[in-house]
């Protein structure tokens, strides 16, 4: 075992670097001992659209903060209060850090754990949310391990499907949560805003759920092609036609049962306005696209953005067309996804080959830690891949 830990760290806007740090300890960020924790040797750790908010400067974090919240790893050290995990286990880490003991955790709301971050009811790795080190690294400390970690039943079988299982730590359960909040079920018609990795997982999950007409909107033809090839309908938002007209052209009706925003406030406008950032474009489009009595999920992360153009957006206030929506009795749910609510079932669906289309839709690309800074650059420009960092060369091998 090594005594050092190489990791991708934030060093200012558009500047990620690989730093060498100390090996992690079984210790909480404030220095308390954490016998309930484990140390993982990271097997897969992905770059996410949420990391881009940090990269672009919209989500401020301290200089040197280690990035990454989508980890899969092998247990190499076990705290003395851990009962159910052992050295050698291969596990998926939910991106929400959650204690398992507070009122919200006990109700299954690990997205809003009340204790893991003393400043706010929400904690995550690799964000300024509780000071937990990120996982784009060789090694990682995970607290509350018995409660948090999802163990894969068979290591060899899991390694064969590792590229799909790697998205259980965030984007697949997150995308699934968006559909649940939008009430998706067999036969539902759905509109999914965004064909980034999260939107593509949404399309894959909508197929698993048996949705009927699955329409994905984006401006990026290469990203849309990945979902079209997997049997979904697509809408190119660069075309200057109102969204509900484009939905009607596909579906025969202007609105769907379920719509989900997989974009957030870095959204672009429609048609002639496609080059412009319009922070409320995606959320207004999904509300617009939802039929009266339907439901809308908001997975895109909305919050104060210090580098936004207007004072309202800097404060995190967005012009949502609520007056138009109100009469449709809207049901809109937002927030971080409680990964643990879905990750076991989705793991089983992957292991039993119930989502054979997931891999092509994701379009995963495996890279080393040293390639990560360049991958941030390419992903920021909209590359149609999902980057999976393989720090120890365990996937490639």
Q: Which residues bind ligand NAD (CB under 6 A)?
A: 48-50, 52-53, 170-171, 174, 193-199, 217-220, 223, 237, 262-264, 267-268, 281-282, 285, 299-301, 336-337, 382
What does the DSSP 8-state code read for residue 129? S
Candidates 67-75, 145-153, 245-253, 260-268; binding stretch for Zn ion (CB under 5 A):
67-75
Residues 121 and 129: beta-carbon distance below 8 Å: no
Structure tokens at 54: 């940090």
Cα 315–Cα 319–Cα 321 angle in degrees, nearest 5: 155
Applying CB under 5 A, does 215 fall inside the site for Zn ion?
Answer: no
Q: What are the φ and ψ backbone dihedral angles of 204, each rounded to 5 degrees? A: -65, -40
Q: What angle do CA 155, 69, 215 make, to 5 degrees?
A: 90
CB of 88 to ligand NAD, least distance (A): 29
Q: Among Zn ion, ligand NAD, none, what does residue 113 contact (CB within 5–8 Å per kind)?
A: Zn ion
Going by C-beta distance under 8 Å and a sequence separation of 6 or more, which residues neighbour residue 63? Answer: 10, 11, 12
Q: Is 343 in the site for Zn ion (CB under 5 A)?
A: no
In whole angstroms, give the CA distance from residue 103 to residue 337. 17
Please report whether residue 50 would count as binding Zn ion according to CB under 5 A.
yes
Residue 89 or 218 with smaller CB distance to ligand NAD: 218
CB nearer to ligand NAD: give 75 or 372: 372
Q: What dihedral do alpha carbons 26, 29, 30, 33 form, nearest 10°?
A: -10
Among 47, 48, 256, 281, binds Zn ion (CB under 5 A): 48
Q: Is 102 in the site for Zn ion (CB under 5 A)?
A: yes
- Please report how close the Cβ of residue 170 comes to ligand NAD at its closest, in angstroms: 5
- Decide which of Zn ion, ligand NAD, none touches 45; Cβ closer than 5 to 8 Å per partner kind: none
Q: How far is the CB of 178 from ligand NAD (least distance, A)?
A: 8
Chain residues 136-175 in contact with Zn ion, contact rule CB under 5 A: 170
> How many CA atoms lie within 13 Å of 397's alpha carbon, on the beta-carbon side?
9
Provide the phi-psi class of 273: left if phi over 0, else alpha when psi is between -120 and 50, else beta.
Answer: alpha
Taking the least distance from each CB to ligand NAD, the nearer of 26 and 362 is 362
Footprint of Zn ion (CB under 5 A):
48, 50, 70, 98-99, 102, 105, 113, 170
């Amino acid at each position: 075992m090594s005594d050092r830990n190489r990791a991708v760290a934030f060093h200012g806007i558009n500047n990620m670097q690989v730093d060498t740090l100390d090996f992690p300890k079984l210790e909480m960020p404030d220095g308390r001992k954490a016998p309930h924790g484990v140390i993982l040797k990271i097997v897969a750790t992905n770059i996410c659209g949420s990391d881009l908010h940090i990269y672009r400067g919209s989500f401020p974090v301290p200089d040197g903060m280690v990035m990454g919240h989508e980890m899969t790893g092998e247990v190499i050290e076990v705290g003395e209060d851990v009962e159910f995990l052992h050295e050698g286990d291969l596990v998926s880490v939910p991106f929400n850090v959650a204690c398992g003991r507070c009122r919200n955790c006990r109700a299954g709301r690990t997205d809003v754990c009340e204790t893991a971050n003393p400043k706010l009811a929400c904690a995550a790795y690799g964000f300024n949310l509780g000071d937990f080190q990120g996982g784009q690294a060789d090694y990682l400390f995970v607290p509350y391990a018995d409660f948090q970690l999802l163990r894969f039943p068979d290591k060899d079988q899991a390694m064969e499907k590792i590229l799909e299982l790697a998205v259980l730590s965030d984007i697949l359960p997150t995308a699934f949560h968006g559909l649940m909040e939008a009430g998706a079920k067999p036969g539902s018609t759905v509109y999914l805003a965004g064909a980034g990795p999260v939107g593509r997982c949404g399309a894959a999950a909508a197929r698993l759920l048996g949705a009927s007409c699955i329409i994905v909107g984006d401006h990026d033809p290469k990203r849309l092609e990945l979902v079209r090839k997997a049997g979904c309908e697509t809408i190119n938002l660069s075309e200057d036609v109102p969204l509900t007209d484009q939905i009607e052209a596909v579906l025969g009706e202007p609105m769907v049962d379920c719509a989900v925003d997989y974009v957030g406030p870095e959204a672009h406008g429609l048609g002639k306005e496609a080059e412009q950032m319009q922070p409320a474009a995606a959320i207004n489009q999904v509300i617009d696209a939802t039929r009266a009595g339907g439901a809308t999920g908001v997975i895109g992360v909305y919050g104060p953005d210090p580098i936004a153009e207007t004072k309202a957006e800097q404060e995190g206030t967005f012009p949502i067309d609520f007056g138009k929506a109100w009469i449709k009795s809207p049901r809109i749910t937002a927030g971080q996804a409680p990964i643990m609510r879905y990750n076991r079932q989705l793991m089983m669906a992957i292991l039993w080959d119930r989502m054979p289309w997931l891999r092509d839709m994701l379009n995963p690309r495996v890279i080393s830690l040293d390639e990560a800074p360049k991958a941030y650059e390419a992903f920021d420009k909209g590359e149609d891949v999902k980057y999976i960092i393989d720090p120890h060369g365990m996937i490639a091998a």
